[in-house]
Chains A and B, each alone.
Chain A
Amino acid sequence: MKVLSIAFNTFRENLRDKLLYNLLIFALLMIGSSLILMRLTLGEFHRLILDIGLGSINFFGVLIAIFIGIGLVSKEIEKKTIYTIVSKPVARFQFLLGKYLGLSLTLFINTTIMTAGLLAVLYFQDVPVHGVLFKALGMIMLEFMVITAVALLFSTFSSATLSAIFTLAIYVIGHLTPDLKAFGQKMEGLGRTTLEGMYYVLPNLERFNLKGHVTHQLDVPTSDLLMIASYGMAYTIFLLMLASIIFQRRDFR
């Protein structure tokens, strides 16, 4: 109940954030722009629309997750609104969880709107829609949830600007972890241990990327989806627990 109240309040807060609308409009414009770009290419129209569409949903969703996510907690501390929450019978982890679920709800609704935009473009261009598209969208949403948890974790102990930089870095590295492993295998000793360690500790965000499957109309077996989903959930829960531990020890000055 308390967690849900905080979640809905966060959702309401997000809805009044201009950044959200700016990013959403840009995302819809990007999805729509595939119609223009299509005229510049020869063949492969369908692939282009799907590629740009899914890419836009992913990119702008990540931007929302990062730039609203970093403010979730740090803004409450900066604006001192947290004083009135923590002094109520609300455990600190309930506050964190509420903030997290609030932004997740915002992201879910955003993704739904962007998906509607993409489906409209696909419909008007007579592009057939396969089930794998929705599987890919589900995985994109899962990636948002991991990124939001990363942003939330950083925002429990550092400023908004630093959190943004850290989270962006994790996002970029997260998509390159297979390269980290490959690099590591070419090295010896400490370098190898470090890179392999990073490979296992950092989120492997490339796992959530099913765009290739969509454009090539390759289905993903349910067992694979379940594996990826469990990985995403476990990673998110781990990050939220870590954030709770740090947040629990903090003084609000």
Chain B
Amino acid sequence: MDRADLPIVQVENLRKVFRVGFWGRCVTAVDGVSLEVQRGEVFGFLGPNGAGKTTTIKMLMGLIYPSAGTATLFGRVIGDQAAKTKVGFLPESPYFYDYLTSREFLRFYGHLFGLLGGMLEKRIDELLELVGMTHARDLQLRKFSKGMLQRVGIAQALINDPELVILDEPMSGLDPIGRKEVRDLILRLKESGKTVMFSSHILHDAELLCDRVAMIMKGRLVASGHVSELIAGDTTQEVEMVIDRLRPEALERIRPLTSKVVLKGERVMAMLTSQQDVDHALDVIRSAKAKLVALTPHKASLEDLFIRKAKGAQSVVEARVA
């Protein structure tokens, strides 16, 4: 069952329809999502708020039941107890038993995995050290800040030394230092051979960390693959041109080639999207004897892809409504 070449997480056509309100109106939260997470990789599950990330993760963790489709963890159907022993999970903005101290809290979760005695105590000390919470080990959780809660939450997810760690929005609500610490922690997990799947709407973090990503919008998968491939495959890379002394008639010849033009006194800033258009525009500038001040290719980022996909998803929805 648990073969090394099998994907650790396999999701096929997963769908969840919620019934909301008094009349039980149907709302599709996740609509036919398929994805795979391979052993040892850091997988980013990206999308704006309300896209269906948390719903998908909750289905993987057996918290809600799919309306259709299948999903497996370690080749076992979701909800399987044996598969759960190999998974660590941090929910979104986690809530914990606030009357417990960090130690009591971690001990409780250790017991749920059948861990006991000296082994467990040693593990708790290691984890508190790892997440930098040793100083607060005997403090009740209700006295914690959000960042501190997130840290013990991560410690809780690692108590069973899991092979797969699923983190739902681990960076949300953290300050830049906290975010960097979580990033470092994810990289350290990857180094020690763990598989990490995390969801985020902060694309910068995903770009720095992930081997592969999947993007979800309005319950549908809009892109997935290696980060570099996704960005490279994004042919609409933009070039910014800054031109001085461009005569109005020359500007009118350039305008159809651009996606955006900004005029600032004598200076013209134009955005172009294809190499062919750039060449053409350069010819015009040369023949008009204008001065090219700068030619800057804008490096495509996940963010650009994300925004474009978001617009695409919006227009699809509008078209469907129309």
Would B96 and A81 count as touching, CB distance under 8 A?
yes
In Å, the complex CA distance between A13 and B142 comes to 13
Q: Is B144 an interface residue (CB 8 A)?
A: no
Would A85 and B112 count as touching, CB distance under 8 A?
yes
Q: Is B62 an interface residue (CB 8 A)?
A: yes
B-side contacts of A89, CB under 8 Å = 81-82, 84-85, 112-113
**How would residues 97 to 133 of chain B score, 1 for a CB under 8 Å from any chain A CB and 0 otherwise?**
1011000000011011110000000000000000000
Q: A5, A13, A251: which contacts B64 (Cβ < 8 A)? A: A251
Would B89 and A252 count as touching, CB distance under 8 A?
no
In this complex, how many residues of chain B approach chain A with their Cβ under 8 Å: the count is 28
CB contact list, B53-82 vs A, under 8 A? 58, 61-65, 81-82
Are A2 and B61 also in contact (CB < 8 A) when A80-B91, A84-B109, A91-B81 are? no
Q: B64, B97, B160: which contacts A252 (Cβ < 8 A)? A: B64
A-side contacts of B89, CB under 8 Å = 83-84, 87-88
CB contact list, A1-28 vs B, under 8 A? 1-2, 5-6, 9, 12-13, 16
Q: A5, A9, A88: which contacts B84 (Cβ < 8 A)? A: A88
Would B95 and A80 count as touching, CB distance under 8 A?
yes
Q: Is A39 an interface residue (CB 8 A)?
A: no
A-side contacts of B111, CB under 8 Å = 1-2, 5
In Å, the complex CA distance between A6 and B112 comes to 8
Tell me how far the C-beta of A7 lies from the nearest C-beta in chain B, rounded to whole angstroms. Answer: 11
Q: Is the interface of B mostly helix, strand, loop or mixed?
A: loop
In Å, the complex CA distance between A133 and B84 comes to 49
In Å, the complex CA distance between A87 and B99 comes to 21
Q: Is A253 an interface residue (CB 8 A)?
A: yes
In this complex, how many residues of chain A approach chain B with their Cβ under 8 Å: the count is 25
Would B112 and A88 count as touching, CB distance under 8 A?
yes
Are A252 and B109 also in contact (CB < 8 A) when A2-B114, A80-B95, A89-B84 are? no
Would B99 and A16 count as touching, CB distance under 8 A?
yes
Q: Is A79 an interface residue (CB 8 A)?
A: yes
Q: Is B156 an interface residue (CB 8 A)?
A: yes
B-side contacts of A13, CB under 8 Å = 97, 99
A-side contacts of B64, CB under 8 Å = 251-253
A-side contacts of B297, CB under 8 Å = none
A-side contacts of B58, CB under 8 Å = 83, 252-253
B-side contacts of A12, CB under 8 Å = 99-100
Q: Is B173 an interface residue (CB 8 A)?
A: no
Closest chain A residue to B65, Cβ basis: A251
In Å, the complex CA distance between A58 and B112 comes to 34
Would A9 and B62 count as touching, CB distance under 8 A?
no
A-side contacts of B84, CB under 8 Å = 87-89
Tell me how far the C-beta of A89 lies from the nearest C-beta in chain B, rounded to whole angstroms. Answer: 4
A-side contacts of B18, CB under 8 Å = 251, 253
In Å, the complex CA distance between A22 and B115 comes to 36
Q: What are the 10 tightest A-B residue pairs by CB atom distance, in nearest-first order?
A: A5-B111, A251-B64, A87-B61, A83-B91, A89-B84, A87-B89, A16-B99, A80-B95, A252-B63, A89-B81
Interface set of B (CB-CB < 8 Å, partner A): 18, 58, 61-65, 81-82, 84-85, 87, 89, 91, 94-97, 99-100, 108-109, 111-114, 156, 160
CB-defined A-B contacts under 8 Å, sample of 10: A2-B111, A2-B114, A84-B91, A85-B112, A87-B61, A87-B62, A87-B84, A88-B109, A252-B63, A252-B64
